[in-house]
Amino acid sequence: MTMTNQVVLEGRLSKSPEEKILPSGDAVWTLRVVVPRPEGDRPGVDWVDCSVWSARLRRSVAKWGAGDVVVVEGVLRRRFFRVGGAPVSRLEVEATAGRLIRRSVPA
């Protein structure tokens, strides 16, 4: 049996991606992809947080906007940090590839 950690999302951006500069000086872009649940599941959507670390992909993501339909490929990661002194963790997709499928239509 081969084990794998591979995620592919196709969905709409909930808002424009945001750049964050970390205390270390590293840059990371964050984005949230809204994906519909598969048929047969409870109706609705899931909101998936993604982080982009590679310089090449960050340049592409910087051009994406709210409502754009995108494909994001990557791996699932659990991040640990502190909020108000309490340990917290969350799951996110660390993007290794991505592409714009369709720009949103302005209202």
Interatomic CA distance for residues 73 and 7, integer angstroms? 6
| pTM score of the predicted model | 0.87
| Helix, strand, or coil (residue 99) | strand
Q: Tell me the domains of the chain and their CATH numbers.
A: 7-102 (2.40.50.140)
The residue type at 53 = W
Tell me what pLDDT residue 43 has: 84
Task: Dump pLDDT digits (tens) for 7-61.
Answer: 999 999 999 999 999 889 999 999 999 999 988 878 899 999 999 999 999 999 9
Q: Are 34 and 14 in contact (CB under 8 A)?
A: yes
